[in-house]
Structure 1
Amino acid sequence: MITAPLPLDEDVRLHALRQLDILDTDPEEAFDRIARLAAFAFGVPIVLISLVDEDRQWFKSHHGLAACETPRSMSFCAHAVLSKRLLVVEDALDDERFADNPLVTGEPHIRFYAGAPLKLANGQVIGTLCLIDAAPRSFDANQAAMLDEFAQLVERELETRRQLLRSRTAHERDRRSLAISEARFRTVFEQTPIGKAVVDLDGRFLDVNKKFTEIVGYDEATLRKRTFASVTHPADVAGDVALASELLAGRQATYAMEKRYLRPDGTPVWVSLAVSLVRDVSGAPLHFIAAVQDISSRKKSEEALRNYHVELEERVRERTVELRRSRDAMQTITDNLPALIAVVDRNLCYQFNNETFRRVFAADPSLLRGHSLRETLGTETFEALQPFFARALAGERVTCENVRYAAAPERVWCATYIPAERDGKVTGFYVMSHDVTEQRRTEQRLRESALLDPLTGLANRRALQDSLGALRASGKPYALFFIDMDGFKAINDRYGHDTGDVLLREVARRLAATVRTDDIVCRLGGDEFVVASRGVDDARTGERIAAAICLAVSKPLAMNGKLIEMSASVGVVLAGQRGATGATGANGAIGANPANAGTVASGAAPNASAALSVEAEGHALADDPLCLADAAMYEAKRAGRNTWRVAPRAEALAALDV
């Protein structure tokens, strides 16, 4: 017996066969009908639709034969698959390839065989439609042509099955994507700290989140019965409706405004409103989505500041009338105000300056009179402010909120220019410039503190999300390391929370010292940290970094004469490269668990335990590198802690039907 050698493209052929998902399936009438008709047409007792697998030939239809499969080593069909042409054996006893074949010498005592190859659309031969008889027989060209026609019927059924399978797969993928998208939208909608509302085209509330109800003071059930206009301050309704009409007309994609809602007790609440219009695939408008932030506190501050400016301006005006008769009195008053105050004529020359000019410009205020603003301010600052001077001379009160004088470039000033009038004509303008440096610094500190973890000084969750968004947008590879302290609660319980805080700060310091200076180190909260490392595109590098992290964290911490043992479990995912959300590679361990170290065997499913854990977490993990790293971290926990695990590639997840 001569066993047919494997085709050169065997791996590709087997992949095409298995993609049909047909092996070991139940009998199907479509295939059995073809087998019966072929048996009748050719007058043979046995007709098989044979699919040649790696070690066997499996029969999708087996007319006249009880067996469902036979070994590939003794298969006639394997020879037909190898040649990719019709194989006819008129008498097996006269063919040295089959004369001593167990299927010839024993049941079913094959003497005659004719097998037509079954080809897929990509040209791969996956099996045969074969005729078998226990007696030798001849087979002419007409019969060969007819057998080929029958084989084409089987091929059409296989192609139909492949198309149906592809359609089902696509439908299931779309269904899962839609479910994930809806879950994400609901999570963002409900948990965002911003008020969110979905409003229909008639202005009625369709859905609101909890934050929105807190802002406007109505519960969700009440809002669903009302329109946005009914809870808006009457003075703001027209502007809101006009901008909504612009969206519906397609003249704007979004709009933003500041407006007031009226709470049930009639109290107005100022909000910053951003609205977008959702359209269907045909472009028809569906509904509005509104995002609302309560800015009442800011409005109160602005009102207080406006009142302060109004009061100060009024005071200056009153003083000016009086000080026309007494410049010395005006000088005394203005010299004691914490602002730069000056009078400028239409030629842009100083007519008056207070004592603050001496401190800022190191110049005697009395010597500045008659000198141009350009001389004192410098050319660059003068040209930047000249448009404001022109507007003031045109009769407009204007303010420039970000003025820097060359004499004190580190300070920031807010300058107001007020037209000076006499007999109905603008004769110049008054200058009031306030030092707002500390206010700007406070605002900057507040912005920075919103992105930093107060305990460790690392980036916080919000900063991480911003950084990950930028990394994803760049399309370049990066690695995520999800780090969770082992037994941190026990340390807290034993040594106290103050010690726990010291430990967390030390871990933060070690992480920052271990990774590169341009890597992103973040504390998510509690004892969870994340490192995002740019440019890492292979599992070996990711494992090396994970090992360094485990080693750095596992060093005991000396405190108050005691050594506190600590360690961390690390989940790794490679992301950003085209076509991958994860990476295969070796699982590694150090310290307490060296037995966990190892590599993925050739031909085995990469990192199967991690992939199975990801499957248990749900399909949404496959789309989120941070979730994948989190799941891999739990695999490291289960592996004994003080170790790391690398998340699988996206194709490994697909092989597990995640």
Structure 2
Amino acid sequence: MTTYPMPSNETERLNLLYILNLLDTQEEPVFDHITRMVAKILDVPIVLVSLVDADRQWFKSRVGLAATETPRELAFCAHTIIDTTPLIVTDTTLDARFKDNPLVTGDPHIRFYAGVPLRSSGGLAIGTLCAIDSKPRLLSEDETNILIDMAALLSREVQLRESVILIRNQMSHSEQAIEAVEARFRTVFERAGVGIALVAADGGWIRVNDALCQTLGYSQEELIKLTFVDITHPQDLDSDFYLLQQLIGNEIDRYQLEKRYINKSGNIVWVNLIVTKQMSKQGELEYFVLIIKDIQARKEAEASLADLRKDLEERVETRTQDLRLANTMLSSSMEQQLRSEQELRKREAELQMVIENANDAYVCINHIGLITDWNRQAEQTFGWSRQEAIGRRLEDMIIPAAMRKAHREGMKRYLNTGEHPVLNQRIELTAVRRNGEMLPVEVRVCALSIDGKTIFSAFLHDITDRKRAEAIRDHEALHDALTGLPNRRALFNLLPQAEARAKRSQVAMALLFIDLDGFKAINDSQGHEAGDMVLREVASRLHKCIRQTDTAVRLGGDEFTVVLENLVNDATDANKVAKKILAVIQRPIRLGTMTVNISASIGIAVHYPNEVNTADQLVNRADAAMYEAKRAGKGRVFLQ
């Protein structure tokens, strides 16, 4: 066993660990929930959240281990915090660093170890999330990614606490600052992409923003007259009331749940609700703060597209949306301050809470295009830390190169004229991450003048999942689920386009209508599964024996069509292709241990460049020709 390595930033790392006040503290659900989840998902007996102290590692959360700490010289995690990537030891007895370690040779007999560093906002590794087993094993790529995602969730919790400590040290003393913060607060409150509301202790609305009104379909005047009970689904009231009573009783400092609202039209709207409370200096409840995210679209997408990976990503995303109000952080230091200082601190706390815990990336730039604010979701969405982003030009960070000139001209035009078509509108644009990856975003930008200077506030929401779901729905709408070929709808979209191309090129096209002969007998005698295998094989053969410019389509049942374009020799070319297809279909088809034979009747309808045929007319002509082929004895081609 070798001695543990020492990080180059050890002093700074230990200072931060002590400032965070995590060592030798009570168990906390936010940490214990993660360790239990990792133990269950990875199926390991031991999972730890280890904080690496100067001469020991102390376990903030543990599953499957009675000890609360071990000497640092024995700690695997002392090696993990040195690197930026996970430390995975598949068999400790084969690793020179650990094979003689007492934790390997003795209790708890560690044979497998996987650990991921827990990092602060500045990248300092204060500890790890690690999984341990008493037998050798390999982690799959998905399991490794799950451990990394869970460690990222804990890192965000650490960074949140780090941010809270930094907030305690922020003070400002000018009335001018109050006005600026108040103006920014109003802008964020009114223009935020999520619903925000202040609710009185009796459940009545004190203040609501436009985003919440749009979600529920009420005007502000209508909504203010209601209580949250009036718009909550009856089945969700008990859980909401239970958590609210815990919040009022100081058992918890906030709560989060997914619940159903009933909008003005009577329809259910799923939302992600985060509730905190604002207390007075005297310790009395003033009001509740609600952050309300419309997740109806996500709920609908989950019904058809949910899988384990997406579920885990949404857990991480949901966790990043958790809000921690620092209601009492400033109480003791503000008792002797002027009323203006008290008001400033209150507005700063509210503004910081909304911006830092918003579901969307928030970016603020000044009148010359330099970034002045960059929230946590912006860090996660675009890959640039707040420290890296502040003071840089927006176009250098997230705007694709091809769009930067238009961005600069748009800002210049607004500053000169006060007009810009994208302001106060929801628009979809393409942004770029730090690694060069493009992503679609929904953007809402507003401008605000403070002290004669214009600042721009923007909320950007990553709509990659929504775009992907739309693409899947579009594909499924135009393709046959069994064979993968274009379906009837796709055919009727294609035919007018093919006829237009024929007219432009002055070269004929044709439609082949194919009906399988003998398919029903196979389907009845061998079963639908065998019938489906035959249809898939026919579809595959059709696809392979036509050109890339031609299109095979399954109409339904045992009927197919083929659209042939660029027929230089008109009907002659169409007839040759039809006979080739007939020969391919007639080849024996292997179904497991048996072989079956089918044939087809094919009707041909030729469309000449200057003819006028609707899609229905062309299909009907080809269909009629196919029936002529059947009447003539089946297993043949008929040109209409």
TM above 0.5: no
Structure 1 length as normaliser, TM-score?
A: 0.41
Structure 2 length as normaliser, TM-score?
A: 0.42
Structure number with greater CO (CA < 8 Å, separation at least 6) is: 2
Task: Name which one, 1 or 2, has greater alpha-carbon Rg.
Answer: 1
